[in-house]
Amino acid sequence: MSNLTEELLRRVYILNIEVAEDLKRRLPVYNTVKEINNFFHMLLAQYTKDTFLYRSTLNAELTAEAWLQSFCKNIVPLMATLGLPSYTVVKPVPMYECESSNVQVC
């Protein structure tokens, strides 16, 4: 696989050309599952609809092939229905909120 981004776009083109074109404009080149997984977690966090269940299907511990299959099965239909979220200046809420980040050190 030349890079993960290229392979993802190839597969999404087969499923939905409009989603693929939108992703092509926004998606940087990624070579690892962890990088592309983080990108899509942040992208999905920008939807006004609750996407927690969709985000939980994105697992950085999967192989590239398994991750791509899961993405195409679970995430592409969501994006086809809702479109990609518009660009926003609002910082997306992380999937897991770290409690220790709110603790002040004296």
pLDDT in tens, 11-37: 999 999 999 999 999 898 999 999 999
Report yes or no on whether pTM surpasses 0.85. no
Q: So what's the pLDDT on residue 96?
A: 60
Distances, alpha carbon 68 to alpha carbons 10, 16, 64, 104, in Å = 11, 15, 6, 40
Domain limits, the chain: 4-102
Q: Which amino acid is at 5?
A: T
- Identity at 19, one-letter amino acid code: V
